[in-house]
Structure 1
Amino acid sequence: MPAFTRDEARDWAREKLVGAVNCTIPSFTNDLRTINEKAIRHDVRLARTHGFIGTLGVSEISITLPEYLDFLRIARDEAGSDFVVVHHGSWSNLEQNLEAVRGAEEAGADMVLLSYPPNFYPESEQDIYDYTKAVCDATDLAVILFPMVLWGFSPRIHPSDIPARLIRRLIDDCPNIAVIKAEGGFPSIQSVIECHRLFGDEVVISMPMEGDLIPLSQIMPIQLSATSNHEYYGPLIPRVMHLLRDGKYDEATEIFWKTHPARKAQSAVAPALHGGALINRQAWKFQGWLQGYNGGPLRVPAQRIHDPQMNALRKGLIDAGLEPRMDPFREFFIGRNPS
């Protein structure tokens, strides 16, 4: 159960969510029959060591709900009470998402990243409101509202994916909405600026893309970067957020330019990796593996990553001076904690 009530979620978020939240993708045994507890603990422990304040337990892979909830329980146990565990509300329909969020609450999650299923086809703002409120009403967890192009709401509903007037209704009616992951109209930065201006005094505004986070934080306060594949940069994103909070903008800007080759490498391979409005979790797992995270096999159906993309992502880190691991690529598909 969360350490706060629904009505306390926003105060909790303002106080607690200061820093960066990465992503932990479940690991499996090498026969792919069960989850790999040792590997999961390794990844959560390394995220803490790298300075992250929490992690998203990714569900957008081939995993059963009981397995996923066990994964969250392991993450909670390894993380300790002062590390934020975020449930990924990405299941096939509303009924499954309600079951999952209730289970995640029992498993010890603190928050839910509210996603919308591929089968969800809203034809009005009211449809989005009804779905979102149903999830919020089903849990005492703090909720991350997530306007994003992946849902396919633009341009049918609004170019910003979830318009500000609808966000206003949801904030007024759902007291456990505590964070907005402001990626509406991606890749534009208008959403995060609009959300900060309209809602920043009420809820925490998150900017998950470090390429926008570092410059924007020099002209507007951003206390949270959640959730993203920040593990690609090892401990660097938590470190740069400390610099930004301390007003050390020259040092933060130096890191921005230092990481630019790696950022460009990610952008260059993105069209080949992230098709069908679906994030390639295999690729994100590989990016973490380059920085010492477990890696390891995923079940089908899984998106693929091939040598040209792996070479490009590793070279981006080399060019940025971030010293990625140089193990043979075949080791990624085995994992650092084979079982």
Structure 2
Amino acid sequence: MAGYTKSEARDWARERLVGAVNCTIPSFTNDLTAINESGIRHDIRLAKEHGFLGTLGVSEINITLEEYLDFLRIAVDEARGDLVVVHHASWSTLEQNIEAVRGAEAAGAELVLLSYPPNFYPQSEQDIYDYTKAVGDATGLAVIVFPMFLWGFNSRIHPSDIPARLIRRMIDDIPNVAVIKAEGGFPSIMGIVECHRLFGDEVVISCPIEGELLPLGQLMPIQLSATSDHEFWGPTIPHAMTLLREGRFDEVTELYWRMHPARKAKAAVAQQLNGGFFIDRQAWKFQGWLRGYNGGPLRLPTQRIHDPQMAMLRKGLIDSGFEPATDPFADFFIGRNPV
């Protein structure tokens, strides 16, 4: 259970959520019949070693709820209080998400990243509000509200995906809304600027995109970067956030430009692979494998990643002065802890 009450969620978030949260994609046995506990524990240990404050237990893959909750329990056990385990509220219906968030809370997750299902087609701001409030009401955990183009709200609700006036209602009426993952209107930076200006004194504003975090963090305080595929960068993002907090902006700028070749490679691969308004978790798992995370197979249906994209990502890291894994690409599909 979380170490705070629902009414304390915002104070807890302000105090606890300082740093970066990466993503942990569940690992499976090589015959894909079960989750791979050793691979999961490997990834949690490495996230701690890399300095992350927390990790998102990704649910947007082919996994049953029972398996997913077991995955969270393993992550919580291996975290041993050193990592905030974040539940990924990304299931097919509101009813499933309510069941999942209650199970995640019982499993020891401390924070919730709210998603909206592919078949959720709100026709008004009220529809989005009602869905968000239903999930918030179902749990005592702190909730991350996530304005994002993936949901499809921008074409009929508002260009910012979730308008500020609606976020205002959520903050006023849902006491455990504690974080805004401010990607509204992506790739525009206006979403995070607006959220910081309007809500930064009440809730934590997260900047998950490292290419925005490093520049904007020099102009306004950003205590949290959650959640994102920061594992691609190894320990770099936690280190960069320490530099930002200490005001060492010349070093942050030098780091930003050093990372630029890998940043461009990552963006190019995303353009090729992130189809259907859906994040390519196979690519993210490979990105982590390049920096020592488990890798391993995912079940169908899953996206694919081919040699040209894998080579591009590895070369980007090398060109940025990092030392990615040089193992054969075939080893990624087996994983570092095969079972």
User: Separation in 2 of the partners of 1:270 and 1:325?
Assistant: 20
User: Separation in 2 of the partners of 1:239 and 1:254?
Assistant: 13
User: Separation in 2 of the partners of 1:174 and 1:212?
Assistant: 28
Q: Is 1:173 paired with 2:173?
A: yes
2:277 aligns to what? 277
2:55 aligns to what? 55
User: Separation in 2 of the partners of 1:322 and 1:312?
Assistant: 14
2:39 aligns to what? 39
- 3-state DSSP class of the match of 2:22? strand
Counterpart of 2:163, as a letter, is: P
Alpha-carbon shift at residue 203 of structure 1 (Å): 0.3
Alpha-carbon shift at residue 272 of structure 1 (Å): 1.5
Alpha-carbon shift at residue 82 of structure 1 (Å): 3.3
Counterpart of 1:214, as a letter, is: L
Q: Is 1:240 paired with 2:240?
A: yes
User: Separation in 2 of the partners of 1:175 and 1:6?
Assistant: 7
Counterpart of 1:167, as a letter, is: I
User: Separation in 1 of the partners of 2:6 and 2:101?
Assistant: 14
Instruction: Judge conservation of contact 2:9–2:176 (CA < 8 Å) in 1.
Output: yes
Alpha-carbon shift at residue 5 of structure 1 (Å): 0.6
1:72 aligns to what? 72
2:16 aligns to what? 16
User: Separation in 1 of the partners of 2:173 and 2:240?
Assistant: 35
Alpha-carbon shift at residue 10 of structure 1 (Å): 0.4
- The two structures have a TM-score, normalised by structure 1, of 1.00
User: Separation in 1 of the partners of 2:323 and 2:39?
Assistant: 22
Give runs of ≥4 in structure 1 deviating > 6 Å. none
User: Separation in 1 of the partners of 2:82 and 2:329?
Assistant: 35
Counterpart of 1:199, as a letter, is: F
Alpha-carbon shift at residue 273 of structure 1 (Å): 0.8
- 3-state DSSP class of the match of 2:240? helix
Number of residues of Structure 1 aligned to a counterpart in Structure 2: 339
Alpha-carbon shift at residue 155 of structure 1 (Å): 2.0
- Of the structure 1 ranges 269-278 and 130-139, higher mean CA displacement relative to structure 2 is found in 269-278
User: Separation in 1 of the partners of 2:152 and 2:326?
Assistant: 38
Counterpart of 2:104, as a letter, is: A
Alignment of 1:52-131 (within 5 A): 52-131=52-131
- The two structures have a TM-score, normalised by structure 2, of 1.00
Alpha-carbon shift at residue 325 of structure 1 (Å): 0.6
Counterpart of 1:313, as a letter, is: L
* 1:245-295 deviation line (CA, Å, top 9, x unaligned): 000000011110000000000111112110000000000000000000000
Counterpart of 2:244, as a letter, is: L
Alignment of 1:312-327 (within 5 A): 312-327=312-327
Instruction: Judge conservation of contact 2:42–2:294 (CA < 8 Å) in 1.
Output: yes
User: Separation in 2 of the partners of 1:153 and 1:238?
Assistant: 32
1:331 aligns to what? 331
* 1:138-174 deviation line (CA, Å, top 9, x unaligned): 0001000000000000120000000000000000000
* 1:1-45 deviation line (CA, Å, top 9, x unaligned): 110011100000000000000000000000000000000000000
- 3-state DSSP class of the match of 2:153? coil
- 3-state DSSP class of the match of 2:55? strand
User: Separation in 2 of the partners of 1:217 and 1:272?
Assistant: 29
User: Separation in 1 of the partners of 2:93 and 2:248?
Assistant: 45
Q: Is 1:141 paired with 2:164?
A: no
Counterpart of 2:83, as a letter, is: F
Task: Give the unaligned 5+ runs of structure 1.
Answer: none
Instruction: Judge conservation of contact 2:39–2:336 (CA < 8 Å) in 1.
Output: yes
Counterpart of 1:132, as a letter, is: T
Task: Give the unaligned 5+ runs of structure 2.
Answer: none
2:287 aligns to what? 287
Counterpart of 2:289, as a letter, is: W
- 3-state DSSP class of the match of 1:118? coil
Percent sequence identity over matched residues?
Answer: 76
Pairwise CA RMSD:
0.4
Instruction: Judge conservation of contact 2:179–2:206 (CA < 8 Å) in 1.
Output: yes
- 3-state DSSP class of the match of 1:239? helix
- 3-state DSSP class of the match of 1:154? helix
Counterpart of 1:57, as a letter, is: G
